[in-house]
């Protein structure tokens, strides 16, 4: 001890030592002041903060505080010294966790961290603990009041949960969209829906690199619609992106397949529309909202002779009007400028269609229909009505002529429509049925007009039923003609014709006088038939009665001429020959009269058989030549070699042909003057006999010879033989014609039908 004090005195005596001591003392004092300052600062910080630090003695299970005041200021609701007191400060559900945590801290020196809730005031603390400098005896326990932070954390957790739900909702919504949608950060994919992954070959997970797909790069860099095969169908998509931030971009694709299809359909429709307009005969023009011509058809060019190249420049409507006026294809107006401004203004203010008629200087009449266009602007239709109006004027004139003609007819005419209402009638109709002309107005019912004529029709007890039946008969669409016998004694001829438009044409004509005349003619005809029958009966009976004496005369004449009773002188022989000739001729006439009477009365019966007409005609011609006077010459005809088979009675045909030849050539001077022409066709055979006209002396002689009762009343100007020949020939279905072709000659033409159609061509044979 003494040595130490002595050592200190020595040091104090040393100036250097004193300096060192002083420096050390000053440094220590400064360090103390510095430590005290930071200690106070730390206390102030702890006082202002919500952090409480205490030391826990793990052996004694007690806590040591910095100061009690600190506990009161910072954690007023906490008051504990021992571990059990500490547990009582918190909820019972958390106490077991605290025990386990402190046990782990004590045994394993493992730091602990718990979030606890105090029983008082329901505040939340975060407890942290660790061994002090590795010493398991002491542990530093820190309590941090995190009530506010836990509330904020809960709110943030709840908000995050809601945002997560919203994100899931939007993802599901985007996943069900029919369009591709993606979100990317530069070339990093943040999201894409399934259709996008399928369509653009994107990987369906976040964070994939978009540059890995060539398809993706192509569509991300393209601004034009692209064709893509989706589910085996060709689709047209347009892709575009919108920036959310400088890095985040959202892209989507729009399916334009239907849009382009509709556009194509619209273009086709417009092309068809223009084609239809071009095929119209009416001119069509379309002006836009700026009054420039946007469309015209070919009919418009032809109608006004426009230059198509000029119209393709979309001229202004005022320019079009000026061009038409220059070429005198516009109606002349006193104030053209006012008309022009009015047309331009009307084009702007056009709301409803307007129709006008323009009379051009060249005589044409153009109807102009202007109407607003649904797409804006207006369109014009130009129709040339010149021919139509001219035709209408002619039609109206012709209709007036027809009306005047019908009004001046004696025949009553009326036309009723399909509804049985009057459409047209003339004056004769009202006069014929005694109907008041005031009632003959258009649209009058047929039943009312029938009531007006009730007194002229057949009276019935049930007039309505009778009237309905008559109306039904006259409007049943079946053409008919009938006669109506009216109560006033007149007879009306009714004619009904259904018209194509469903109307009914009725005509009435008063045939009372005609009926009376027909009745008189019928009575006269019956009387004539009776007279003819009596005449035929008289002739047949007289002919029969005359045969007996004629036969006796002929018989005695033959006996006398053959000199059975004695010799006759020459004069007596001549007389007997004349008597025999005259008697024979008279008998022939009587037989002809009898045959004619039988033909007229219908009692003769023809025995028809197939016969060759040419052979029959040749045989008759030869018999005639044998009996005729040799001085007159013979009749000559070239007979065709082909057969002409007809159906006929040979006996009567020979009689007719012989009689015809005898009577036709009875007054000619030479038989060589007679010309025969034979014609054989496919179905008929014809003989033309041309005779010279009789001389006047022969005509006078013929009149003297035949001006007897034997002159045929059926064929005036002909002999009885000609009439008999005509009747026999016509009874065979042939045609007998007696024609005077010229003053010098006359023609007899016979035409017989063939029973079999000849296969030989047409053959004409004349005289040899």
Whole-structure pTM over 0.75, yes or no?
no
- HEC readout, 484-518: EECCCCCEEEEEEEECCCCCEEEEEEECHHHHHHH
> Does 304 reside within a domain?
yes
- Mean pLDDT value across residues 456-475: 77
- Give residue 766's pLDDT band: very low, low, confident or very high (50, 70, 90): very low
> Does 557 reside within a domain?
yes
- Mean pLDDT value across residues 625-654: 78
Measured N-to-C along each axis, helices 650-664 and 613-627 cross at an angle, to the nearest 10 degrees, of: 50
- Give residue 710's pLDDT band: very low, low, confident or very high (50, 70, 90): very low
Question: Which residues contact residue 71 at a Cβ distance below 8 angstroms, ignoring those fewer than 6 apart?
Answer: 52, 65, 78, 79
More confident residue, 2 or 445: 445
- On whether the CB atoms of residues 321 and 330 are closer than 8 A, the answer is yes
Distance CA 498, CA 425 (A): 16
Report the pLDDT value the prediction gives residue 41, as an integer from 0 to 100: 66
Measuring CA to CA, which residue among 356, 380, 369 is closest to residue 288? 380
> Does 36 reside within a domain?
no
Q: How many CA atoms lie within 13 A of 542 on its CB side?
A: 14
pLDDT > 90: percent of the chain: 0
- The whole-angstrom distance between residue 346's C-alpha and the CA centroid of its chain comes to 36
User: For 604, left (φ over 0), alpha (ψ -120 to 50), or beta?
Assistant: beta
> Does 30 reside within a domain?
no
| End-of-domain residue from the set 578, 604, 630 | 604
Same domain, 221 and 324: no
More confident residue, 486 or 532: 486
| End-of-domain residue from the set 483, 510, 537 | 510
DSSP-derived letter for residue 671 is G
Measuring CA to CA, which residue among 294, 233, 231 is closest to residue 261? 233
H helix or E strand, kind and range, residue 200: helix 194-200
Average pLDDT, the chain: 76
Please tell me the least confidently modeled range out of 157-171, 476-490, 666-680, 690-704: 690-704
Backbone φ, ψ for residue 142 (5° rounding): -115, 130
Please tell me the least confidently modeled range out of 53-62, 99-108, 234-243: 53-62
Distance CA 563, CA 565 (A): 5
Distance CA 237, CA 198 (A): 14
Q: Give ∠ CA 187-192-196 in degrees, rounded to 5.
A: 105
Same domain, 628 and 708: yes
Residue found under tokens 């022969």: 698
Q: How many CA atoms lie within 13 A of 206 on its CB side?
A: 5
Residues 566-583: pLDDT tens digits? 788 888 878 888 888 888
Report the pLDDT value the prediction gives residue 269, as an integer from 0 to 100: 79
Please tell me the least confidently modeled range out of 72-81, 114-123, 298-307, 660-669: 72-81
Same domain, 451 and 521: no
Same domain, 449 and 401: yes
Report the pLDDT value the prediction gives residue 760, as an integer from 0 to 100: 43
Structure-block tokens of residue 2: 């003494």
- Give residue 12's pLDDT band: very low, low, confident or very high (50, 70, 90): low
Measuring CA to CA, which residue among 601, 596, 603 is closest to residue 530? 601
H helix or E strand, kind and range, residue 675: strand 675-680
Measuring CA to CA, which residue among 427, 425, 392, 393 is closest to residue 410? 427
The enclosing domain of 534 has a CATH number of: 1.10.287
Residues 269-291: pLDDT tens digits? 777 777 777 878 788 888 887 88
Same domain, 321 and 431: no
* Structural domain count of the chain: 6
Residues 364-408: pLDDT tens digits? 888 888 888 877 788 888 988 888 888 888 888 888 887 788 778
Same domain, 653 and 730: yes
- Mean pLDDT value across residues 425-429: 85
Residues 172-226: pLDDT tens digits? 888 888 778 888 887 777 888 887 777 766 554 454 555 444 445 555 555 677 7
User: For 270, left (φ over 0), alpha (ψ -120 to 50), or beta?
Assistant: alpha
Please tell me the least confidently modeled range out of 44-58, 198-212, 309-323: 198-212
Report the pLDDT value the prediction gives residue 414, as an integer from 0 to 100: 87
Please tell me the least confidently modeled range out of 508-517, 683-692, 757-766: 757-766
Please tell me the least confidently modeled range out of 240-244, 628-632, 693-697: 693-697
| End-of-domain residue from the set 123, 145, 167 | 145
Range of the domain at 689: 607-765
- Give residue 18's pLDDT band: very low, low, confident or very high (50, 70, 90): low
3 state SS of 732: coil
Residues 749-760: pLDDT tens digits? 888 888 864 444
The enclosing domain of 699 has a CATH number of: 3.30.565.10
* Number of residues in the chain: 768
Q: What is the sign, positive or negative, of the torsion defined by CA atoms of 137, 138, 139, 145?
A: positive
> Does 692 reside within a domain?
yes
Same domain, 496 and 589: no
Report the pLDDT value the prediction gives residue 655, as an integer from 0 to 100: 81
Same domain, 628 and 744: yes
- On whether the CB atoms of residues 611 and 646 are closer than 8 A, the answer is yes
> Does 267 reside within a domain?
no
Same domain, 757 and 655: yes
- The whole-angstrom distance between residue 62's C-alpha and the CA centroid of its chain comes to 109
Same domain, 243 and 292: no
Report the pLDDT value the prediction gives residue 601, as an integer from 0 to 100: 62
Residues 589-613: pLDDT tens digits? 777 777 766 676 666 677 888 888 8
- Give residue 671's pLDDT band: very low, low, confident or very high (50, 70, 90): low
More confident residue, 79 or 710: 79
Distance CA 253, CA 274 (A): 35
pLDDT at residue 425 is higher than 80? yes
Structure-block tokens of residue 40: 């106070």
Same domain, 102 and 207: no
Please tell me the least confidently modeled range out of 26-40, 453-467, 573-587: 26-40
pLDDT at residue 68 is higher than 50? no
Question: Which residues contact residue 215 at a Cβ distance below 8 angstroms, ignoring those fewer than 6 apart?
Answer: 200, 201
Please tell me the least confidently modeled range out of 399-413, 496-510, 731-745: 731-745
Report the pLDDT value the prediction gives residue 448, as an integer from 0 to 100: 81
> Does 274 reside within a domain?
no
Question: Which residues contact residue 497 at a Cβ distance below 8 angstroms, ignoring those fewer than 6 apart?
Answer: 479, 504, 505, 507
The enclosing domain of 446 has a CATH number of: 3.30.450.20
Report the pLDDT value the prediction gives residue 719, as an integer from 0 to 100: 56
More confident residue, 306 or 606: 306
Measuring CA to CA, which residue among 621, 609, 686, 687 is closest to residue 645? 609
pLDDT at residue 363 is higher than 60? yes
DSSP-derived letter for residue 82 is B
pLDDT > 70: percent of the chain: 78
Residue found under tokens 């400028």: 337
Please tell me the least confidently modeled range out of 129-138, 241-250, 281-290: 129-138
Report the pLDDT value the prediction gives residue 210, as an integer from 0 to 100: 55
Report the pLDDT value the prediction gives residue 541, as an integer from 0 to 100: 73
Same domain, 626 and 549: no
H helix or E strand, kind and range, residue 189: strand 188-192
């Amino acid at each position: 001890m003494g040595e130490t004090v002595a050592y200190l005195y020595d040091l104090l005596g040393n100036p250097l030592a004193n300096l060192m001591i002083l420096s050390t003392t000053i440094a220590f004092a400064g360090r103390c002041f510095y430590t005290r300052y930071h200690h106070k600062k730390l206390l102030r910080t702890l006082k202002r903060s919500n952090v409480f630090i205490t030391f826990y003695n793990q052996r004694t299970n007690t806590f040591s505080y910095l100061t009690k005041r600190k506990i009161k200021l910072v954690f007023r609701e906490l008051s504990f010294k021992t571990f059990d007191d500490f547990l009582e400060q918190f909820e019972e559900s958390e106490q077991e966790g605290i025990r386990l945590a402190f046990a782990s801290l004590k045994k394993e020196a493992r730091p602990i961290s718990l979030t606890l809730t105090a029983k008082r005031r329901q505040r939340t603390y975060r407890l942290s603990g660790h061994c002090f400098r590795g010493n398991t005896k002491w542990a530093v326990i820190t309590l941090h009041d995190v009530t506010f932070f836990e509330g904020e954390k809960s709110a943030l957790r709840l908000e995050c949960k809601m945002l997560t739900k919203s994100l899931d909702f939007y993802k599901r919504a985007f996943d069900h969209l029919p369009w591709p949608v993606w979100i990317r950060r530069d070339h990093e994919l943040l999201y894409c829906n399934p259709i996008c992954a399928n369509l653009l070959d994107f990987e369906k997970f976040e964070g994939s690199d978009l540059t890995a797909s060539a398809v993706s790069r192509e569509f991300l860099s393209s601004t034009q619609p692209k064709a893509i095969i989706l589910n085996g169908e060709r689709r047209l998509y347009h892709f575009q992106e919108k920036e959310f931030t400088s890095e985040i971009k959202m892209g989507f694709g729009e399916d334009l397949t239907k849009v382009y299809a509709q556009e194509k359909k619209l273009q086709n429709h417009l092309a068809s529309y223009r084609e239809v307009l071009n095929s119209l005969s009416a001119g069509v023009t379309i002006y836009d909202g700026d009054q420039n011509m946007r469309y015209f058809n070919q009919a418009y060019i032809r109608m006004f002779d426009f230059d198509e190249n000029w119209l393709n420049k979309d001229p202004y409507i005022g320019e079009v009007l000026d061009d038409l006026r220059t070429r005198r294809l516009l109606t002349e107006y006193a104030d053209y400028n006012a008309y022009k401004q009015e047309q331009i203004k009307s084009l702007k203010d056009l709301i409803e269609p307007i129709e006008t008629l323009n009379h051009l200087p060249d005589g044409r009449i153009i109807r102009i229909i202007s109407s607003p266009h649904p797409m804006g602007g207006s369109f014009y239709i130009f129709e040339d009505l010149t021919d139509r109006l001219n035709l209408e004027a002619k039609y109206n004139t012709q209709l007036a002529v027809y009306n005047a003609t019908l009004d001046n007819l004696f025949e009553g005419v009326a036309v009723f429509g399909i509804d049985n209402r009057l459409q047209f009638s003339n004056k004769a109709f009202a006069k014929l049925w005694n109907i008041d002309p005031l009632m003959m107005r258009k649209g009058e019912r047929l039943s009312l007009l029938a009531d007006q004529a009730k007194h002229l029709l057949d009276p019935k007890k049930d007039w309505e039923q009778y009237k309905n039946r008559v109306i039904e008969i006259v409007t049943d669409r079946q053409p008919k003609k009938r006669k109506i016998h009216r109560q006033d004694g007149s007879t009306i001829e009714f004619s009904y014709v259904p018209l194509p438009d469903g109307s009914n044409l009725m005509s009435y004509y008063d045939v009372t006088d005609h009926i009376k005349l027909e009745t008189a003619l019928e009575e006269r005809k019956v009387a004539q038939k009776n007279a003819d029958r009596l005449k035929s009966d008289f002739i047949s009976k007289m002919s029969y009665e005359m045969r007996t004496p004629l036969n006796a005369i002929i018989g005695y004449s033959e006996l006398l001429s053959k000199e059975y009773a004695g010799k006759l002188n020459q004069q007596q022989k001549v007389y007997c020959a004349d008597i025999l000739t005259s008697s024979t001729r008279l008998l022939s006439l009587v037989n002809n009269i009898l045959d004619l009477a039988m033909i007229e009365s219908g009692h003769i019966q023809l025995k028809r058989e197939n016969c060759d007409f040419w052979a029959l005609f040749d045989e008759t011609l030869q018999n005639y030549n044998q009996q005729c006077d040799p001085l007159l010459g013979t009749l000559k005809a070239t007979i065709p070699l082909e057969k002409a088979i007809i159906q006929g009675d040979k006996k009567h045909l020979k009689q007719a042909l012989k009689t015809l030849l005898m009577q036709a050539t009875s007054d000619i001077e030479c038989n060589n003057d007679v010309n025969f022409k034979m014609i054989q066709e496919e179905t008929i055979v014809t003989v033309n006999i041309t005779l010279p006209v009789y001389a006047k002396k022969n005509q006078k002689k013929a009149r003297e010879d035949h001006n007897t009762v034997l002159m045929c009343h059926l064929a005036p100007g002909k002999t009885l033989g000609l009439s008999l020949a005509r009747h026999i020939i016509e009874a065979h279905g042939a045609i007998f014609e007696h024609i005077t072709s010229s003053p010098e000659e006359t023609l007899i033409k016979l035409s017989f039908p063939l029973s079999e159609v000849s296969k030989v061509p047409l053959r004409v044979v004349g005289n040899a």
